[in-house]
Structure 1
Amino acid sequence: MEFGVLFTSHPNPAEEPYPHRAVHARTTAEIEEAEQFGYDTAWVAEHHFSTQYGILPDCFAYLAYLAARTSRIGLGAAVITLPLNDPIRTAENAAFVDILSNGRMRLGIGSGYRPYEFEGLGKDFEARREMVAEAVPLMREAFLRRRWNHQGRFYRGRVEAPYEMLPVPVQEPHPPLYMAGGTERSIAYAGRNGFGLMLSTLPGAETLARQIAIYRQGLAEAPAELRRNPAAGQVDVARYVYVADTDAEARADTEEAIIRHIAHFGGSGTAGYLGTVSEKGQSLNYDDLLATTLLHGSAETVIAKLRALEAKTGLTSLLLHYPPYYGAAKIRRSLQLFAERVMPAFRPPRGAVAAAD
């Protein structure tokens, strides 16, 4: 199993007061620590305009910076909100970061779920899925053939010989491409188009199992060319994770903050996202979240919860996520405890890997 961390550049007003500039130094430090602790991937998320959620308008600028600050860890966008971006520029920039990172780029895309971001950038929120459906084949042309002639409803452009899209990425035929899915429609689309699948922090295990089954069925229908995507068949599940020495300590550190954070996804600013992507309603309590969603507790508790999740869903990658409200010191401690006490239970000993090689 791969292990990554999903960073939303989310401000903690107690430590990063308005205008929240300090959030980026803290996030960068956590990514550098994640590499030192042995995590496989670090993912950053595009978000605009909110003073209460992520502050990261340009994933590619940040990933290029991180490429120079790190040497091993995979660097991913989770996700680029495709309707807010030009698909050709997205493909170009992903290829460029892949070169700058020496083949460590992973590209996740999604349709978006926050209407205020679309309003602020003058985009049609209701047309976002149609925009993605038009943009994806155009991106594929850019990656696979590096030339195109497209005259569509939302995008127009032509590049023909002797011109082509450059740079050519290190990874072939392109960096691993993922799609974030929350509805049956988007999950099936991801499978049929050969994307890796990224699933939300919010659904319970039963919901995740159904979603992954829908994805696998769609992937079986994908043409062979689309299954050349290095991420095809990969399922990355994001979970709220917090490890402490005891279950009681984990609860004391997180209970109020995690309920407040998850409740945010039920507001008007997220277009009903909580109910759309999961089985949860507006009433949230910690015990229910522990039973369905959270990987919180001692290392032993988290290992048991993760084994059960793996058996039920077949996930291939876990993305650790958390709100910033616990404080930077406790977050660092949790990431370290997970790396030292939980990861080894899901990976072969180093000697076994060397012998297999």
Structure 2
Amino acid sequence: MPRPIRRPVEVWQPIVSGTPRAFDFIAKHGIKGVMLGTAEQFIDQWIRAYQEANARHGRTLQLGENMALGLWSYLGDTHEQAKSKLQPIFEEHVKFAAPLGMLRYRQDQMQQLGPTGVARHIAAGVDYEGVLAKKAWIPATTAEMTDYLKDLERRYPGLEHIILGFPFGASAADFKDQLQRFARDVMPAFRGRAVAAH
């Protein structure tokens, strides 16, 4: 394998468990963190835990610095339209992710596992309304999305990387439309900042 032309190489690690051990490992090695489809309470906990772990390893970071936040979202003309368009996409995502243990569940859902495992797990369902309330998935108008991102910018001044996740079950045309809407109607509200060359 050829060596990278530019060093050091940035390494980004998905944050899944959010354990102190995981944060210490990534901070020790200067690894940057990525959160995707994460409930709002975990976003705050993990951003703070990442900052604290880096401080223990001699790096002073702003809240959100060296992290990326991925959003499962859908932009619609109205909030209700976005919500109704996002629901079948969410349901397809659950069919894929649930058997792999990639979703957080309530205790009563975990008890559904039993010997038939996957089918019962999916049948237990993940509460769509609950996921929306926790902002793990976000249906929004472009104005609502802009407000949400402005709020994140205020709370986490170091957060500079947003990833638009587009889950399984969505078409390429939907994905293209969503990217165009985001670029046209949301991104202009955020000014680019000059980044120093390394």
Structures share a fold, TM > 0.5? yes
* Match status 1:323 vs 2:152: no
What is the total number of aligned residue pairs between the two structures? 170
1:252 to 72, 75, 84: 84
- The residue aligned with 1:347 is 191
CA 1:323–1:179 in 2, change beyond 3 Å: closer, same or farther? closer
**Which protein, 1 or 2, shows the higher relative CO under an 8 Å CA cutoff with sep ≥ 6?**
2
Distance in 1, matches of 2:94 and 2:69, equals 16
- The residue aligned with 2:11 is 177
- The residue aligned with 1:304 is 147
User: Is the 1:205–1:312 Cα contact (8 Å) retained in structure 2?
Assistant: no
- The residue aligned with 1:274 is 103
1:12-50 CA distances to partner (integer Å, 9 max, x unpaired)?
xxxxxxxxxxxxxxxxxxxxxxxxxxxxxxxxxxxxxxx
Distance in 2, matches of 1:320 and 1:244, equals 15
Which of 1 and 2 has greater Rg? 1
* Match status 1:234 vs 2:79: no
1:262 to 85, 90, 94: 94
SS at match of 2:93: helix
SS at match of 1:326: coil
Alignment of 1:194-205 (within 5 A): 194-201=30-37, 203-205=38-40
Could you tell me the TM-score, scaled by structure 1's length?
Answer: 0.43
Distance in 1, matches of 2:151 and 2:54, equals 24
Identity of aligned residues (%): 21
Give the CA deviation at 1:263: 5.2
1:193 to 22, 29, 37: 29
Structure 1, unaligned runs of 5 or more: 1-91, 97-166, 228-232
Give the CA deviation at 1:340: 0.7
Structure 2, unaligned runs of 5 or more: 110-124
Give the CA deviation at 1:214: 1.0
1:167-188 CA distances to partner (integer Å, 9 max, x unpaired)?
3x332x3221122222212133
**Equivalent AA in structure 1 for residue 191 of structure 2:** R
Distance in 2, matches of 1:265 and 1:312, equals 30
1:226-269 CA distances to partner (integer Å, 9 max, x unpaired)?
x9xxxxx41011110222222222223221221331354332xx
1:220 to 42, 49, 55: 55
**Equivalent AA in structure 2 for residue 208 of structure 1:** I
- The residue aligned with 1:287 is 129
1:72-124 CA distances to partner (integer Å, 9 max, x unpaired)?
xxxxxxxxxxxxxxxxxxxx4xxx4xxxxxxxxxxxxxxxxxxxxxxxxxxxx
